[in-house]
Amino acid sequence: KVMTKYGAYGEKMMYGKKTMGVIRSTVLVGPDGKVVKHWRRVAKAADHPAKVLEVLTA
């Protein structure tokens, strides 16, 4: 349920076919429980941590 609410589970394309599954995404939740930043459908996993660190250290 949680993954679906955050948009991290749903319909996606895999090898040219529509399928249901985990959608690579990152959600940064603040101490107050509110979403600070939401990266949806992360395409390049290798570059993504740097983008997250940039937001965390800003």
The reported pLDDT for the residue numbered 15 is 95
Q: Is the Cβ–Cβ distance between 36 and 55 less than 8 Å?
A: yes
The reported pLDDT for the residue numbered 5 is 87
Q: What pLDDT, in 10s, does the model give residues 2-52?
A: 898 888 999 999 999 999 999 999 999 999 999 999 999 898 889 999 999
Number of structural domains the chain divides into: 1
In whole angstroms, give the CA distance from residue 26 to residue 21. 15
The closest alpha carbon to 8, from 53, 45, 43, 41, belongs to 41
The reported pLDDT for the residue numbered 39 is 94
State the DSSP H helix or E strand holding residue 52, giving kind and residue range, or none if neither.
helix 48-56
What are the DSSP calls for 11-46, one per residue?
EEEETTEEEEEEPP-EEEE-TTS-EEEEE-S---TT
The reported pLDDT for the residue numbered 50 is 95
